[in-house]
Structure 1
Amino acid sequence: MGLAVKNLQAIFERGRIADYLSVYHYVKDGIYALRDGWGFCIECEPMPFAGTNTAKAIESLLTAPRHSDDWYLNIFLYASPYIDELMDEYLKRKEQGKTNINDEVILELFKQRRKYYEEHTKKSFFDEFDFRVRDFKLFISVIIPYKNKKQTATEIDVKIELEDAIKAKNAYFGVLKSEGLAPRIVSPERYIAIMKEILNQEKPTINNYNPHKEIKEQIIYPSTKIKIKENGDLLINGNPLRVFSVKTYPNVINLFQFGEIIGSYIDNMKQIPTTFALAMNVKLVDPVKSKEKFQMKSNFITQQADGNPVAKYIPTLHIRYQNYQLAMKYFEEDGKVLTPTQLTFWVIGDDEHHLEYLAQFVRNHWSQHKFEIAKENDDTSFTVFLSTLPMQMDSYYDKFLHRFEPIFCHNTSNLAPVFGDYKGNGYPLLTFISRRGQIMSFDPFVSDGNYNIAVAAESGKGKSFFTNELITSVLGEGGKVFVIDVGRSYEKLCEQLGGEFIEFDEKKNIVINPFTNIKTNENGEIDSSEFELLVPFIGNMCGMNLMASTEEKDPTKRVLASFIEQACREAFRQKQHDTTINDIYEILQKHPDNRAKDIAQALYPFSIHGRYGKWLNGRDNFQYQKDFVVLELDSLEQKEDLKSLILMLMMFRISQDIFFDFKRRKMFIIDEAWQLLRDNISSAFIEKGFRRFRKHNASAMTVTQTINDYFTNETTKALFNNAEWKIFLGQKNEAIEQAKEEKKLVMHEYFFDLLKTVDTVKGRYSEIMIIGSKGIGIGRLLVDRFTYYLYTTDANDKMKIAQIQNELGCSLSEAIKILVEREHGAKSGTLLEK
């Protein structure tokens, strides 16, 4: 062990690890006072599929004018095993949700999910390949050296420096925000928390900041032990860590390609499943001085190559000459700036044997991307490790380490570790896990557009589990869910959750009258907004695709729409909420204009004299009480016209209920939509109904088997076009190619290729591609055994649960927990006592 290591080890043993940390105090406005300068730190969201635009934004940070030189920029990407921040929010929202169904089993489901995820931050979900859940965090920090280090510096001097640092912070923040990296200034509490997590290798329970104590003294726990092994590995509280530095860079690389350095976008076997970090330090030097210094070296090399007759026999000299000539071109013609860069990677293993395995994989993986990396030795590993952390790299580390490599700014920007997987869009209504282990949250109600969803899922690709997950998630947060289905797919779930299962057939005396619950204005007349849906509704009965007269662009259709509106208003003035479709029929029949009489004739089947009249005429008596309602149309399978009518009536009736309850979230689901929504229902009715949902905190989701099912007619196109969210589970390659060639789905070529890889591994997970206006991501739905037994439709599994309930007289959630414990061979004595 060298002298330097012995000295370092002596410091650790005295508990003075804090002496190696640089952050002293928080000043104000996001600025910190450091050992060697002013600093600021900005936390960002890693950019999925970062590419050319992101690289240009980073390059603009590297080349932006500065009020001084020799700044240090650090970009730190960290794969954290701690997901409790998101899972705390996830469970908190579920605990607060209240419905009138079986809240107990729903809450237990989400408690089990949290436990399942947290168990697999430290171990793999599967035996076949190592797959764990974590959270990628990105920090971008800058150190600006003090100009006035002498005691003679005045208060005014310091104030000017501080104001300059604040301006620099604001400029960086603006660039990062414009690029969509969602920046937020790191508070001292947040900085202490992340540094505690890394340097103690455990999640801190308290993240207080004491302004009267140096920040560097608030990070290391007294019990923390860091040891440097003779091979250069670190042991942080027993967790083995190895540090690598890049020695050789590829000739050409772009940011998108470099994004795969932290794991393949596709290949399960090319992943780094444990905690790791990738950090880039850049020294922002004076571009003029840098160019002059480089020019001197270039002149020397040129002189050697041109003036030396044996130079042509020395290949390395000729290569250096060519490189310097190219570099001078970057300087002279392209105006590029030289940016000394340090790229470092470190990884933590489960144990020392596992670390060796990871280290070999990391070397091979980087080598495949044309990088050569080398393990840091015992004299430097700890110092290099510290230099990777936010607001740590400064002139002291620089002088000791000599790790900076001169790289031009356009290349450096393509090495910036600002990438990661799609994290989702907001609060965790649902959670998935990306292919590289990123915990994802998805909430369709967080959107600048509407909240609607279009789902395409081939048979056997996980559609039922995904839909069940959405149902329980909305209910779990106190929402309401309505499902229209053919095939009884949700009967068991509805029964288990204590919902309401309503089956339609011709024998039932159900009346759905749109006028019974219609909204009125202060004069007691039909509110004008109601015609947005009422006109398409009645128009559809007449076989016409109509919109309200104020919105209808076709002059002929506008007249027809006005006839319907006039008849509705007249009938409602006479009978108020007792108005029926038959009243509209009679008023139009007596109208002097033949066009109105034609509408009446088309409405005849829905009058009291027609075959469908019994469903529409009379006081509305369709009632449901529960917050989870399944409307089953299976018995109408062979009656297409009646099925379409009932579906439209249900949509209209539910839409009325949705609009009267703004506070609660509502989810309206139409499964097997490709069968139900054929030409029998007008696209205008769908379009207006679905557009209104957002105004009333409601989301409509339709489910088909393939993307192309959404383009069979104008109605299904309206469903697709009025959905902010497109969600695809496994699709056949032919269906994807057809959608691409016919421009049914428009996105970058790469994402079509990625969509072809979306798959379901039976008994393991279902993959889901989520496409929204602000991002695309692929997540995996992994469910614990509790969730599996709640969602499964397997008759044998359901029988096992029922037997336990009958034997022990326990609740559904207790029965499932007992079944899971029996499955795992655990004792269930505690539960049995209950």
Structure 2
Amino acid sequence: MGVFSSYFNKIRKLADYDKVDEMFGFVGYESDYYIMEGGGMAVMFCCQPTPGCNEELKNSLDAIFKKDYPADTTIQAQLVAIPDISYFINQYETTRGNRLMGNDNELTTSMAESLAQDLESKVHKDMHNGARLRNFEFWFTVRVPTAELLANDREEKRFRTLILDIEESLKGVGFAPNKLAPNNLLWRLQMLMNTSKDAIWRNSNVKPNACKTFSEQIIEDGNTVHFTPNGIITGKPKEVESDGQVKFETDNQTHIKIMSLSSLPDEIYYGQMFDLVGDWMSGGVAHGDPFMISTLIHYPEQGKAKSDIANGRKWLIGQAKGKILEWFQGLADQKRDYDQLWTEIDQRGAKIAHSGTHVIIFSGSAERSERSLAKMKRYFETKRITFTPESVLTGPLFLQNIPCMMDKGYSNYRRHSTYSSEALVFLTPHMSNWKGNTNLPIVPLSTRNGQIFFWDLFKTDGGYNFLLSAATGSGKSVLVNYIVNCYLNSGVKPGGSLLRKPHQKLYELPEFDDGAQVFILDSGRSYQNLAEMFTDSQFISFDNNFKYSLNPFPSIHQWTGDIGQGPMILTMFKAMAAPKHGVTEVQRAEMMTMLTGMWNELGQKSTVTIFVERCLQHPEEYMRQIGKQLMIFAEGGVYGHLFSDKRPAIDFDGRLVVVELEELQNDLHLQLVVILGVINQIQHKIFQGGTARKSLFLLEEAWQWMAGDKDGDKGALIEFVGEFLQAAFRKFRKVRASGGVITQNLMDATGNAVGQAILANTDWKLFLGQDPSSVDKIKNTQSFTASDAQFEQMKTVHTKKGSYSEIMIFHKQMSEICRLELEPETLMIFSTDADDRELMKKYRARGNGVKEAARLSVLEKHKI
């Protein structure tokens, strides 16, 4: 009872509210390890959780757990949901501010600021599945006992060798271990002890007090720790009632509850601990409050522990036979477990360990604490895993779970089981969601479990192109609007800030003006709202108000060479002359010769009409035939007004350029020619811009140019578009550009060579809601490489209209299902819903700007 007596004696001392630090056993810090009360050296590694598991990870952890540790060494393996995203917000800000100079700078900066504020608010409020925005960390702490308070030279040398070995093992499999110095550990402990919005740890300018010990600063000044029969409360006391109960200030209290693992399924697989984090498979259940999943490991003296197991096994062998097995069937199970344990430690060299797993929940109120505990317990039961809530042992067990504070006394609480070290990897909670591919985030999302996810198409060793596949109604247009907006308000150069603090508002920022330039080819006006939101954007539609010329020659600056546009102009003229049956090789060669001659002679003054006249005057009939086929595009022809040199060319100078093709839906030939002409000019604009900013080229409704048989009516048209897209996509990376093909079904990209080529040139694959049968077809045709588990997950991707949409992002072997949950006003701006668009039109017609129209539309919608 010595451990319990010591603990309760310390609790009694807390009645004065001024000796809280005596609960914590940190004595000092020696260069890179902590000196602990009672004798002990401890190192805490803060690691990145792994987004999954594999055999290499398993083997590395097995090797760590199998090491020859001194008797009473303890290890704490803890997955922690950190209620703080300040680092991510700071990184988000560094590419924002003054990125779209001109009339739209204030608007883009304002929208970036609104998004940052929305992200920060989600740390404190539940999203639709109960998750809150957070960052997961994996803490791995090793404590080795010492004979005295301070280690002798032999103990310290052995400890440093052991820690170095463990550190290298963690590095080798991607944990990115970082030894936490006192400042960083203190910040994390304060974070767990105080979930208040006004907690001091949230202020990055506040530094630890050098005049106080480490233990004295874990609990914020003025706060205390109160132990109840069912948990712990930390916070600022408001009053003490007559019965001794402490009342805390409403906005400054943290309720801590602990559950201990009671039972697991008969067979568990490596990776099953990920199930505890939340329902990652369907996204239906997620934990809201900050929490810790903690597996505690104690290594007893191996000789005695092995002797105890041998004796227990010997007794079972003598008992588990004959009639006794009929009366006590559990003996057979015990004997089997003992036999397996003995084989692992006696024949395979495994170590004996005492281990228990706990879940610790940190809530901001008593009501929320009870609800979170009940919700988590019920969820674990659906996974056939039983956790039992603790009562009077909450205090001592919590202290054992504080990094570095676990000692051999843990075994006295009887919350552990005896395992061989081979089993420990199955109990290690080191898995969480993929956090994204960049530390300078451009497109913020969140995973189903609330992990903040930062994504940038351009942060990859491969290509920047992407394929987005989404069934109708799955939120495709909202997502693309969101992606476009994020790139417009972000830049390439770091060093910016949104300057959201009042005292910083007058600070001057460099005029970076390096926000992206985005080009969208659409059919359906999904991006008209977005284009109208900006002053310097261009919305180009082929209606009666179209006053431009598609004559391609004025936009050409180089005919030959790596970025020469001559071959693409030839492809465009071939499509104009013979869209279905193509031209002969002789015609193709002569057309190229004539186009080159005209360019050399007239340059940018060349026109379609001049080329037609020269073809009609050609001595060979096969070229006069080409001239006749092109006459509809010359002056006086049906489409001649669209290619006339009497109209100005489209300059494509807007930072957001939306080309709307809806009016051309009934004329496939003209639509094809327009697309080729526009792609040619956009591609040249992108190449001309170089790498000073990012560029995006998005082709919406791309299914119509990727689906269908090569020999069908559209076969030749598809080939023309395919040639253009393939040529552009292969070159985009050189000029910091990304090509995005947006279609309804991935199978569209596998129906012909064009789709297959585009699929091969897109490293990023994005999937919104898909019909399950389509996913099965994709899997069966092997048109897309993914694991069986990934295909099953793909079937669960869904959208809840008006609330959120899910996106499964693939990049090489990595994948993650992310959620996009927007503020109602932003969602209104991006919405393509007919009712929403009518509301926006109504308030825009009254002279309101886009943001104000969105606000008024949301108000009216909620009244209906």
**TM-score range with shorter-chain normalisation?**
0.7 to 0.9
Give the Cα–Cα distance (whole angstroms) in 2 for the partners of residues 628 and 497 of structure 1.
8
What is the deviation of 1:197? 0.3
Give the Cα–Cα distance (whole angstroms) in 1 for the partners of residues 459 and 704 of structure 2.
29
In the TM superposition, what whole-angstrom CA distance separates every residue of 1:602-651 from its partner, at most 9, and x where no partner exists?
69856997978887796983313321111122222222122112212211
What is the deviation of 1:50? 3.7
SS at match of 1:123: coil
Structure 1 match to 2:441:
428
Structure 1 match to 2:704:
675
**For residues 162 and 235 of structure 1, do their structure 2 counterparts lie closer, same or farther at Cα, with a shift above 3 Å needed?**
closer
Structure 2 match to 1:830:
none
Partner AA of 1:135 in structure 2: R
Structure 1 match to 2:82:
80
Structure 1 match to 2:192:
198
Written as runs of structure 1 = structure 2, the 5 A alignment for 1:490-505 is: 490-498=527-535, 499-504=537-542
Structure 1 match to 2:521:
484
What is the deviation of 1:33? 4.4
* 1:8 equivalent in alignment to 2:37: no
Structure 2 match to 1:221:
220
**For residues 340 and 641 of structure 1, do their structure 2 counterparts lie closer, same or farther at Cα, with a shift above 3 Å needed?**
same
Aligned counterpart in structure 2 of residue 459 of structure 1, from 472, 478, 481: 472
What is the deviation of 1:474? 1.1
**For residues 703 and 806 of structure 1, do their structure 2 counterparts lie closer, same or farther at Cα, with a shift above 3 Å needed?**
closer
What is the deviation of 1:689? 0.8
**For residues 734 and 375 of structure 1, do their structure 2 counterparts lie closer, same or farther at Cα, with a shift above 3 Å needed?**
closer
Give the Cα–Cα distance (whole angstroms) in 1 for the partners of residues 280 and 624 of structure 2.
60
Structure 2 match to 1:141:
140
Partner AA of 2:521 in structure 1: I
* 1:275 equivalent in alignment to 2:307: no
Structure 2 match to 1:102:
104
Give the Cα–Cα distance (whole angstroms) in 1 for the partners of residues 88 and 94 of structure 2.
10
Structure 1 match to 2:561:
528
The answer to which of 719-728 and 613-622 deviates more is 613-622
Written as runs of structure 1 = structure 2, the 5 A alignment for 1:575-590 is: none
Aligned counterpart in structure 2 of residue 813 of structure 1, from 851, 860, 864: 851
Give the Cα–Cα distance (whole angstroms) in 2 for the partners of residues 792 and 736 of structure 1.
26
Give the Cα–Cα distance (whole angstroms) in 2 for the partners of residues 233 and 216 of structure 1.
18
Contact 2:195 2:253 in 1 (8 A): no
Give the Cα–Cα distance (whole angstroms) in 1 for the partners of residues 80 and 157 of structure 2.
34
What is the deviation of 1:783? 1.5
**For residues 150 and 725 of structure 1, do their structure 2 counterparts lie closer, same or farther at Cα, with a shift above 3 Å needed?**
closer
Structure 1 match to 2:157:
160
What is the deviation of 1:728? 1.2
* 1:749 equivalent in alignment to 2:782: no
Aligned counterpart in structure 2 of residue 657 of structure 1, from 685, 688, 696: 685
Give the Cα–Cα distance (whole angstroms) in 1 for the partners of residues 427 and 527 of structure 2.
49
Contact 1:457 1:704 in 2 (8 A): yes
Q: How many residues align?
A: 788
SS at match of 2:353: strand
Contact 2:748 2:755 in 1 (8 A): yes
Give the Cα–Cα distance (whole angstroms) in 2 for the partners of residues 405 and 158 of structure 1.
29
Structure 1 match to 2:423:
411
* 1:345 equivalent in alignment to 2:378: no
Give the Cα–Cα distance (whole angstroms) in 2 for the partners of residues 97 and 762 of structure 1.
32
The answer to which of 684-693 and 284-293 deviates more is 284-293
Contact 2:80 2:292 in 1 (8 A): yes
In the TM superposition, what whole-angstrom CA distance separates every residue of 1:386-442 from its partner, at most 9, and x where no partner exists?
3223333234x4365454421133322112111223332224322223222333222
Contact 2:313 2:339 in 1 (8 A): yes
Contact 2:64 2:169 in 1 (8 A): yes
Give the Cα–Cα distance (whole angstroms) in 2 for the partners of residues 87 and 218 of structure 1.
26
**For residues 514 and 78 of structure 1, do their structure 2 counterparts lie closer, same or farther at Cα, with a shift above 3 Å needed?**
farther
Contact 1:585 1:603 in 2 (8 A): yes
RMSD of the alignment, in Å?
A: 4.1
Partner AA of 1:78 in structure 2: V
Contact 2:804 2:821 in 1 (8 A): yes
What is the deviation of 1:490? 1.7
Written as runs of structure 1 = structure 2, the 5 A alignment for 1:202-351 is: 202=196, 203=199, 204=201, 205-206=203-204, 208-209=207-208, 214-236=213-235, 237-267=252-282, 270-284=285-299, 291-303=306-318, 305=320, 313-351=327-365
What is the deviation of 1:340? 2.5
SS at match of 1:78: strand
What is the deviation of 1:224? 2.0
What is the deviation of 1:174? 2.2
Give the Cα–Cα distance (whole angstroms) in 2 for the partners of residues 220 and 583 of structure 1.
83
Contact 1:541 1:602 in 2 (8 A): no
Structure 2 match to 1:20:
23
Written as runs of structure 1 = structure 2, the 5 A alignment for 1:681-700 is: 681-700=720-739
Give the Cα–Cα distance (whole angstroms) in 2 for the partners of residues 333 and 67 of structure 1.
19
What is the deviation of 1:131? 1.9
What is the deviation of 1:198? 0.6
Give the Cα–Cα distance (whole angstroms) in 2 for the partners of residues 152 and 787 of structure 1.
59
**For residues 591 and 279 of structure 1, do their structure 2 counterparts lie closer, same or farther at Cα, with a shift above 3 Å needed?**
farther
Aligned counterpart in structure 1 of residue 654 of structure 2, from 603, 623, 626: 626
In the TM superposition, what whole-angstrom CA distance separates every residue of 1:158-177 from its partner, at most 9, and x where no partner exists?
77356425523532332332
Give the Cα–Cα distance (whole angstroms) in 2 for the partners of residues 160 and 337 of structure 1.
22
Partner AA of 1:160 in structure 2: K
The answer to which of 603-612 and 663-672 deviates more is 603-612
**For residues 150 and 91 of structure 1, do their structure 2 counterparts lie closer, same or farther at Cα, with a shift above 3 Å needed?**
closer
What is the deviation of 1:316? 4.3
SS at match of 2:754: helix
What is the deviation of 1:358? 3.2
**For residues 474 and 326 of structure 1, do their structure 2 counterparts lie closer, same or farther at Cα, with a shift above 3 Å needed?**
same
What is the deviation of 1:824? 7.9
Contact 2:42 2:141 in 1 (8 A): yes
SS at match of 1:651: helix
Give the Cα–Cα distance (whole angstroms) in 1 for the partners of residues 836 and 454 of structure 2.
30
Contact 2:259 2:358 in 1 (8 A): yes
* 1:732 equivalent in alignment to 2:731: no
What is the deviation of 1:344? 0.8
The answer to which of 628-637 and 417-426 deviates more is 417-426
What is the deviation of 1:260? 1.5
**For residues 687 and 9 of structure 1, do their structure 2 counterparts lie closer, same or farther at Cα, with a shift above 3 Å needed?**
farther
Contact 1:457 1:705 in 2 (8 A): yes
Structure 2 match to 1:58:
61
**For residues 623 and 705 of structure 1, do their structure 2 counterparts lie closer, same or farther at Cα, with a shift above 3 Å needed?**
same
Partner AA of 1:741 in structure 2: N
Structure 1 match to 2:798:
759
Give the Cα–Cα distance (whole angstroms) in 2 for the partners of residues 68 and 793 of structure 1.
65
TM-score normalised according to structure 2 size: 0.80
The alignment-based identity, stated in percent, is: 20
Give the Cα–Cα distance (whole angstroms) in 1 for the partners of residues 403 and 841 of structure 2.
55
Structure 1 match to 2:169:
172
SS at match of 2:720: coil
The answer to which of 777-786 and 89-98 deviates more is 89-98
**For residues 80 and 350 of structure 1, do their structure 2 counterparts lie closer, same or farther at Cα, with a shift above 3 Å needed?**
same
Q: Which runs of 5+ in 2 are unaligned?
A: 236-251, 491-514, 577-583, 707-716
